[in-house]
Amino acid sequence: MSDGGQGVNGIAERLSGVRREIARALADSGRPAGAAQLVCVSKTFPAEAVRVALEAGQRVFGENYVQEAKAKWPALRAEFPDVELHMIGPLQSNKAREAVALFDVIHSLDRPSLAAALAAEARRGAAMPRLLVQVNTGEEPQKAGIAPAHLAGFLAECREIHGLAIAGLMCIPPADEPPSPHFALLAKLAAASGLSLVSMGMSADFEQAIMLGATHVRVGSAIFGAR
Ligand SMILES: *Cc1c(COP(=O)(O)O)cnc(C)c1O
């Protein structure tokens, strides 16, 4: 761990540092305060670490794994009922039911079979989380997401065949490239599609993402330490 095994020490300070940097990036880019929301990514970190962030006032959290979120969050949510929980990791279609029950927002709608599984839950009467489509902006073969050229078709399929409302787009740029061109592309695709939510930027690059229009930044290690 980058915090030298100090456990929860420093989480509140790092969280307030990230909040200050978000506020500064918004101001520097002429965007209103509050235009980008911090999704505090707590995957792999235990409930006692999450509790420090909750006690510091953070309410929006991201998790990558349904099983981990199911184990960690019901008890925390009983104590902090105004928490908003975001699914940011790959979602298996056979976990759609649990994910819909647990999460308020899903950032990782990345393929037709998952859209069909979510639509089946909606037909059963489940309240649907807000949905973002993950875009594979780098067109990396090993990475999840819809290729930019297929986005319009996939959005139409979600709406017209599955009756799903899509609220925004998400991307994870290639690890070995400067992220800014990918952020610019995602913002452009969202604007062209009439979608208002843009989820991009992690610990290493959230300021750049905000400069380019992120409405949600997903920050984990800069707050909780190395995983
Ligand atoms: C883990 C993860 C993050 C947070 O990454 P950090 O570099 O720790 O800030 C953001 N988005 C996704 C999709 C992730 O899986």
The whole-number average pLDDT for the span 115-129 is: 97
The whole-number average pLDDT for the span 179-208 is: 98
Q: How many angstroms is it from 219 CA to the middle of ligand 1? A: 6
Q: Which atom of ligand 1 lies at the shortest distance from residue 206's CA?
A: 9
- Report how far residue 101's alpha carbon sits from residue 115's, in angstroms, rounded to the nearest whole number: 16
Q: How many angstroms is it from 69 CA to the middle of ligand 1? A: 15
Residue 160 backbone class (left: φ over 0; alpha: ψ -120 to 50; beta: rest): alpha
Whether the Cβ atoms of residue 168 and residue 190 lie closer than 8 Å to each other:
yes
pLDDT tens by residue, 61-99:
999 999 999 999 999 999 999 999 999 999 999 999 999
What residue owns the CA closest to ligand 1's atom 13?
88
- Radius of gyration over alpha carbons of the chain, in Å? 17
Q: How many angstroms is it from 112 CA to the middle of ligand 1? A: 24
pTM score = 0.96
- Ligand 1 pocket (Cβ < 6 Å) reads 41, 43, 64, 88-89, 172, 202-203, 218-222
Q: How many angstroms is it from 202 CA to the middle of ligand 1? A: 6
Query: Looking at residue 6, what is its pLDDT?
Result: 53
% pLDDT > 90, the chain: 96
Query: Looking at residue 8, what is its pLDDT?
Result: 86
Query: Looking at residue 1, what is its pLDDT?
Result: 42
- Answer whether residue 187 shows pLDDT above 70: yes
